[in-house]
Every structure is written in C-alpha cells, then in structure tokens.
A and B are shown apart, each in its own frame.
Chain A
Amino acid sequence: MSGIHDMGGRREEFGPVDKSQHELEDWERLADAVNYVLNAKGHKTTDEMRRAIESLEHYREMSYYERWAAAAETLVVEKGLLTREEIDERAAALERRWENG
C-alpha cells in the first residue's frame, strides 16, 4: 500500500510542473536548521523524521517546511524532550509579541 507521500507514477493526480520559486522565510530556514541540528546531535534520525512527515494528517495541504516544522514538533514531543502544552504556550506568547511589533 502506498502512503500519501509515495507519489511516483501518480501522474493522473497532478498537472504541469510549477517552476516558480519562493524566497525562503526565516522560519523556514529555522525549521530546516533545527532538524539538521537535532539529527547531528543524535536526538532523532532521518528515518524517524520521514515517518513523522509521512504520517501527518494534513500532508497534502501543508507547505514543505510546515511539514518539517510539524514533524520536528511531533518527534520532540514523542521523545519527551518537550511537551505539547509548553510549545502551545510559547508559540502563543511569540505570536502576541510579534503582533505588538
């Protein structure tokens, strides 16, 4: 059985290749880097990361680095490094701080 991520050959579902490029945002660079650092320090592996990405409920609706950010969060919670509650709380505080400029 193919997972949501296993796209090879599913040409009927997709049209022409969109060749536009978006400029990476700071949070996307951060998502990329946090993942690499956690891997490099042995806190998670590429295979665990892939499993976490491929099991995301909203995989198709998410942008590339949204998947990375979400999967990193899943893994740090699974491994007991952080709790979902403290991430929720800190993210809400950051949003408030950013809104108030």
Chain B
Amino acid sequence: MSENGHDEHGHEHPHEESGHEGSPWAARIRAVEELLAERGILTHEEVEAQIGYMEARSYENGARLVAHAWTDPGFKELLLRDTKAACSQLGIDASGTVEFVTVENTPTTHNLIVCTLCSCYPRAILGRPPDWYKSPAYRSRAVVEPRAVMKEFGLEIPEDVSVSVHDSSADVRYLVLPMRPPGTEGMTEEELAGLVSRNCLVGTAVPQYKARERASS
C-alpha cells in the first residue's frame, strides 16, 4: 500500500458498511502514525510490513491444514495436539505468544467458534476475521442459541449431534477441523482444500461435496 494507493486494494468495490469513508478517525490514525514515525517510535516501513503480513494471510492456510489432516493421520494428530507445530510443518508462520487450539468435529460433536468480548481469531493463520464474526449479534447469540445462529448461515446440525461453543480469548484462539465429506476418497489434497471455506473453519458451515452452492455463506 502506498500513501495514496487507492487502486491497489480493490477500492472500486462498493462499501457495504456505511459511515466509514468519512470517518474522522481516518485522519486521526494517520496523524498518530506520522507523528510516531517522526519521533522514531516506529517507522513507515514497519507499518507497511505489518500490513503486508496481514494481507498475505487468508483462510486458505486453514483449508490446507484441514486437507492435510484429512489425508495424513499423523499430521491430524499433530494438528490437534500442537497447532503451531502443524502450521510450521506446512510453512505457515503462526509463531508468537498466542496459543492456537484446533477442535475436531465428529459424528457426535459439532464445534462453533466465537469471541464474545471482542474479535479474537487465529489471525496469524487465517487472516482478519469476517465482519459478521465481530458483530454484536454473533458475539451475543452464538453462546446461547448456537443452533439458531448456524441456521442463519444455512447450517442445520441434527439434534442428536451436540454443539460445543468455544469462546476465544486474547491468549487462546480456536479453529475447527471439520469432518471430511463422504465421496471424496479419490480427491487430491488440493481438491480437498477447495472444499473448505472460511466458515467451515469457524463452524458456521461444513464442507460439502457435490452439494448445491452454499448461497448463504
């Protein structure tokens, strides 16, 4: 991103959230950044590098972890035991002080991730959380009526499957290892990764094979 690089990040897209473009905080945070740089507290280069770091992260890292876990039982065991080590094995840099925990969906338990207090999310692996993850509606309701919330995403969990909701914290961030859909035995790891959407990694969707397009996610 350049100082005035309005073309580089898809700014031609319509803004779905109103009232941001003219935010007074746009000038204030730029002022803070400029002044901090002038005092030598940080540099523009450090800020640009951090922006690049976050831009380079996406849920596709999570999809790769899942697809590899589906095809390699030893890796799956590692992912569930030590998510950071599993990331490192696939060349995903998840180092740092935050702990990551992968929770496994099974025929008897479905997992859903939320952060009721703010927006804690495995950013180092999956990038920034989607807007809905940060919304008051999701944060407040996911812990008391997870089935109703998932239904809004088009996901209905059978009554005989229990739902386990994990409330993330600043120190511990969760991601979901979904179940491999039946009928995918002959697929390559890359094809399998293509079945894993971002919402599958948070628990508001499950991977589908030959299913109709998930219109709601």
Contacts from A to B (Cβ < 8 Å): 5-11, 13-34, 36-38, 40-41, 43, 46-47, 50, 53, 60, 63-66, 69-70, 72-73, 76, 81-82, 86-87, 90-95, 98
State which of B24, B33, B153, B170 has its C-beta within 8 Å of the C-beta of A30.
B33
A10 and B114 CA atoms in complex are apart in Å by 14
Q: Is B9 close to A, CB under 8 A?
A: yes
Kindly provide the distance from the CB of A84 to the nearest chain B CB, expressed in whole angstroms.
10
State which of A25, A40, A86 has its C-beta within 8 Å of the C-beta of B26.
A25
The 8 A CB mask of B166-202 against A (1 = contact, 0 = none) is 0100100000000000000000000000000000000
B131 touches A90 (CB 8 A): no
Q: Given contacts A29-B51, A32-B128, is CB(A69)–CB(B28) below 8 Å?
A: yes
Q: Is B156 close to A, CB under 8 A?
A: no
Q: Given contacts A72-B32, A90-B35, is CB(A19)–CB(B25) below 8 Å?
A: no
State which of A9, A23, A94 has its C-beta within 8 Å of the C-beta of B30.
A94
Contacts from B to A (Cβ < 8 Å): 1, 5-6, 9-11, 13-17, 19-21, 23-36, 39, 41-42, 46-48, 50-51, 54-55, 114, 116-119, 128, 130-132, 134-141, 143-145, 149, 152-153, 167, 170, 216-217
State which of A17, A21, A81 has its C-beta within 8 Å of the C-beta of B137.
A17
Known: A11-B141, A18-B137, A50-B118. 8 other contacts (CB 8 A): A14-B141, A20-B132, A27-B30, A29-B1, A34-B33, A47-B170, A65-B20, A73-B28
**Inter-chain contacts of A5 with B (CB < 8 A):** 117-118
**Listed A/B pairs (7) with beta-carbon separation below 8 Å:** A11-B140, A17-B138, A23-B15, A27-B25, A29-B55, A34-B32, A93-B31
A14 and B148 CA atoms in complex are apart in Å by 13
**Inter-chain contacts of B149 with A (CB < 8 A):** 17
**Inter-chain contacts of B141 with A (CB < 8 A):** 11, 14, 17
Q: Across chains A and B, which 6 residue pairs bring their CB atoms closest together, nearest first?
A: A8-B116, A22-B17, A90-B31, A27-B26, A33-B50, A14-B137
B42 touches A87 (CB 8 A): no
A76 and B47 CA atoms in complex are apart in Å by 16
B33 touches A87 (CB 8 A): no
A30 touches B118 (CB 8 A): no
Q: Given contacts A17-B152, A19-B217, A98-B27, is CB(A26)–CB(B6) below 8 Å?
A: yes
**Inter-chain contacts of B19 with A (CB < 8 A):** 63
